[in-house]
Structure 1
């Protein structure tokens, strides 16, 4: 799974919007959650947090004014609060985007 997420190169896809990014990764991540969430949920949680880290890197790359990590995390938390169902893995993480 980690190799698959790395192959997406999320942090370099700055031409995509947040919604387009969610539309691309949600089907795959939702499938992983459905399968591994039943059999190994304790191993799934750190992996989902890693996807959040990639999304923070994407925010830092796309929006130069949010290049500081703290600002990018705050922006992601704001988006997660406003749209909690945008990404499939935000349902499983308790703090939505705690990194």
Structure 2
């Protein structure tokens, strides 16, 4: 991530957003109470606020959803 982030940030950004989308899909499938997008979004925002460095790529991407 350091190399592409330094030289190809425009190419790296869509990939990192896709990783976030996969994480969101995993959360929605794993936890029945988070099946609705609204509840999953609230959970996502809470987790990203409480643990901003939980995943390494979160340092590179702005919070979305």
Structure 1: gaps spanning 5 or more residues: 1-32
Moved beyond 3 Å, runs of 4+: none
Q: Which residue of 2 aligns with 1:37?
A: 5
Match 2:31 to one of 52, 58, 63: 63
Question: Within 5 A, what are the aligned runs for 1:13-92?
Answer: 33-92=1-60
- Distance apart, 1:70 and its partner CA: 2.2
**Structure 1 residue 39, shift from structure 2 partner:** 1.6
Number of aligned positions between the proteins: 65
**TM-score normalised over the length of structure 1:** 0.61
State the superposition RMSD in angstroms.
Answer: 1.1
Question: d(CA) in 1 for partners of 2:58 and 2:25?
Answer: 17
Q: Deviations over 1:4-57 (max 9, x none)?
A: xxxxxxxxxxxxxxxxxxxxxxxxxxxxx2121112101111111111100110
